[in-house]
Amino acid sequence: MAADVPDCGPDALARELDGLERRAGRLEGLAEALFREHHRARTELLAAQDFLDMAPKAQDRLEELSRGLFGELMGEVESNLTHAVREILGQDRTVKSRREIKHGKLHITLEIENQGETEDVLRGQGGSVCNILSVGLRLIGLAQLDPEKHQRFLALDEQDCWLRPELVPAFTRIIAAIGGKLGLQVLYISHHSVDALHTHAGRVFLLAPSREHGVTARLFQPGNQ
């Protein structure tokens, strides 16, 4: 039995050569595509590396700008709050703000300095400092609102709860002065004596429990209690 002999004639060789050329063409096309993809990926990698190299510098610059921007704002806030604390407490205390960047965000902590020592804001003067700063920050926040778009209204519910009775008149006087300057309507609720409040209030209502109505309210008239 005769074995199959490959066709090695000129036509067969020509067909094989033609197939190899077509395969070589496809491989060349694939090689060009891979080269372009490699170039694109390399370009993106270099750009990413440049960005990563620049990121810490950009972050440092943003932090610097944030500190500068908020530094000016907080300088004014510190000044206003310090004035309020000294005016009400009659003591030489200074409000300071500690600013730091955490996880890309600016964090501000308020502190009180008294003769070079730092006091706890929440406990300073039995909580009086916290009362004053809380109201002061609200007033500063409301002052930033556009009066044409927002109704400036401030409700203070027992905001003087930790103040000594003799400090309440100065506290209400400052609130009334700032409220008038900013065009604020202030609702002030207090358990302190009406004598400490009515001088700086537009109207004072006295609330009292009532068996029939739960609570009654009457307008306070000085000299006619």
Which pLDDT value is given to residue 58? 65
- Is 224's pLDDT higher than 70? no
Q: Quick check: 117 pLDDT over 60?
A: yes
- For 122, list phi and psi in degrees, rounded to 5: -75, -25
Q: How confident is the model at residue 6 (pLDDT cuts 50, 70, 90)?
A: low
Report the residue count for the chain: 225
pLDDT tens digits for 164-180?
888 888 999 888 888 88
- The predicted pLDDT at position 114 comes to 84
Cα Rg, the chain, nearest whole Å? 38
Q: Which residues of 3-35 are buried (b: 16+ CB within 10 A; e: fewer)?
A: eeeeeeeeeeeeeeeeeeeeeeeeeeeeeeeee
**What is the Cα–Cα distance from 12 to 18, expressed in whole angstroms?**
10
Domains and CATH numbers, the chain: 60-219 (3.40.50.300)
The residue ranking higher by pLDDT, 63 or 161, is 161
Inter-residue contact 130 to 121 (CB < 8 Å): yes
Whole-angstrom CA distances from 167 to 67, 130, 170 are 35, 14, 6
Q: What contacts 174, CB < 8 A, 6 or more positions away?
A: 84, 87, 88
pLDDT at residue 133 tops 80: yes
- Reported as a single tens digit per residue, the pLDDT across 43-60 is 888 888 877 777 667 666
Most confident segment among 11-15, 16-20, 87-91: 87-91
Residues in CB range of 118: below 8 A, 6 or more apart: 111, 112
Distances (CA, A) of 158 to 77, 89, 155, 204, 223: 23, 18, 10, 15, 25
Predicted TM-score (pTM) above 0.75: no
| Mean per-residue pLDDT of the chain | 81
In angstroms, rounded to a whole number, what is the distance separating the alpha carbons of residues 87 and 136?
12
What number is the average pLDDT over the span 39-45? 88
Q: Give tens-digit pLDDT for 66-109.
A: 556 566 667 788 888 888 888 888 888 888 887 777 776 767 78
- Grade residue 188 by pLDDT with cuts at 50, 70 and 90: very high
